[in-house]
Amino acid sequence: MRTISLANETDFSGWKAAARRLRLAGVEPASARFVTAGSVQGGLFDADEGPGAVAVDDAFVVPRTFMETAGDLILHRAPDRFDLMYRLLWRLRDEPDLMRVVSDPDVAAAAERVKNVRRASHKMKAFVRFRETRDAQGDLWVAWFEPAHRVLEKTAPFFARRYSTMRWSILTPDGTAHWDGEGLAFGPPGRQEEAPQDDEVEDFWRTYYASTFNPARLRTRMMQSEMPKQYWKNLPEASLIPELVASAASRTEVMVSEPSSLPNEKFQRLRPPTVDRTSTDELVALEPADLERGVQNCRRCPLWRDATQGVCGQGPREARLMIVGEQPGDHEDLAGQPFVGPAGQVLDAALAEAGVQRGAVYLTNAVKHFKHEPRGKRRLHKTPEAGEVQACRWWLDQERRLVKPRLILAMGATAGLAVLGRKPSVMAERGALIETSDGARVLLTLHPAFVLRVPDPEARRRAHATLVEDLKMARREAGLA
């Protein structure tokens, strides 16, 4: 019997080197076994050896599907996984298409275990709960997790991408993962008592979880399939589940017996009717105050769900020039005012150079809610889709009806889409007056956020000069002093 000692339970490189050498030496699966260092004592006639080295000339080719399967299979907790991997490798010598035979017992066993490993990785992504603490370097987020299989190193890069701006550690019985904001490092097994047991955020999370629990849609078996009980002890919301499940039936009866609620009359008045959104002929007459309230209550597209508030346009009621951007940014979403963030500062500088007073211009956006995706503690801008621009165009048309500008300056392709009803080529069409079907006069220019993102200083200077040049033309065409 040839016994191979591997460095640890997931020593894939060591297993590959030893398995190649054993197969080249003609050692059959029944005469080989793999153990981790110090885990099993050898028999009287065992030949104990390390992984060893394999000469380049002795290498042989195996299907990629086998390497992908083996890379995940070694993470399974089954003690015979090394033997199964070597048995498959041995059989590939005479059965090169073995991995395609899904009915083969060895292939089927490997596929089932790989599925379990990948499921464990998915559950880790779903059920890791970080708790806030502090160390000498500042804020630190720590989580204790007990994965069904040894998937820490496989799954940790997901958390590094998702929480790239946070310092965090994940502790498991198999090892630990640490992210310092720049690099990922792995360490020895952790202990549950090393992780914080609670933090103040969890009370808010439990309140949120309980308030969003819908007893009428409870499917206990399905819930336990997606959220197995083995993970409950590390989930703050799990303490609420037994009570919520027990009271679901009675709460559902109460919900069904109650009369349906009447719609909010004020909101009904502000809801825009179903009209042709490419035309302003059928717009209802809203005053500025009604327009502001209507934007706050708008549900024409899903963007309102993640935004702090809607951001309506601002400026004189009869401004000669209307400037349209893409959407509110992070600063605008919090302040409730257009162009107050970094892009707004670029626009302010360009307006000053062009001799245009900001107070004489009506500033607005094609989309009234901030579209973003979370990245750690930051909210990163996402470009609105055409359907979202079209849904919000009703509000832009209302602003145009109220202000009646002599000229509309559309900054960027999204603003151009909202004003013109088509996505323009900004650089090809800028500098020329465009007349729309309803008689509006439009100029296209760069968006200040584009100028801000240009990495090369000289190219950024040229882009800023282009924006200023277009603002000067807009001033002349709008008849501003």
Which of the two residues, 21 and 273, has the higher pLDDT score?
Answer: 21
Mean pLDDT along residues 148-158: 96
CB within 8 Å of 185: residues ≥ 6 apart: 177, 178, 179
Nearest CA to 315 among 291, 293, 342, 341?
A: 291
The pLDDT assigned to 57 comes to: 45
Mean pLDDT along residues 237-256: 80
pLDDT exceeds cutoff 60 at 23 = yes
> pLDDT tens, 341-399?
999 999 999 999 999 999 999 999 999 999 998 887 788 899 999 999 999 998 999 99
The pLDDT assigned to 45 comes to: 40
pLDDT exceeds cutoff 60 at 78 = yes
Q: What percent of the chain has pLDDT over 70?
A: 89
CB within 8 Å of 18: residues ≥ 6 apart: 4, 6, 34, 50, 51, 52
- Residues 284, 286, 292, 294: is their CA dihedral positive or negative? negative
- Sorting pLDDT into bands at 50, 70 and 90, what band is 291? confident
The per-residue pLDDT of the chain, averaged, comes to 86
Q: What percent of the chain has pLDDT over 90?
A: 64
Strand order in the sheet with 184-187: 131-135, 138-144, 168-171, 176-179, 184-187
The pLDDT assigned to 163 comes to: 92
The pLDDT assigned to 236 comes to: 76
**Residue 417 phi, psi dihedral angles, 5° rounding:** -60, -45
Query: Is residue 216 within 8 Å of residue 252, measured between CB atoms?
Result: yes
Which of the two residues, 339 and 224, has the higher pLDDT score?
Answer: 339
114/134 Cα distance (integer angstroms): 37
- Cβ neighbours of 220 (radius 10 Å): 10
CB within 8 Å of 247: residues ≥ 6 apart: 215
CATH 3.40.470.10 in the chain, residue ranges: 266-478
- Sorting pLDDT into bands at 50, 70 and 90, what band is 54? very low
> pLDDT tens, 319-338?
999 999 999 999 999 999 99
9/21 Cα distance (integer angstroms): 20
- Cβ neighbours of 117 (radius 10 Å): 24
> pLDDT tens, 99-120?
999 999 999 999 999 999 999 9
pLDDT exceeds cutoff 90 at 225 = no
Range with the poorest average pLDDT among 17-26, 45-54, 171-180, 425-434: 45-54
- Sorting pLDDT into bands at 50, 70 and 90, what band is 174? very high
The neighbouring-strand residues paired with 133 are 140
Mean pLDDT along residues 296-314: 91
73/295 Cα distance (integer angstroms): 53
Pick the CATH number of 266-478 from 3.40.190.10, 3.30.70.890, 3.20.20.150, 3.40.470.10: 3.40.470.10
The pLDDT assigned to 200 comes to: 67
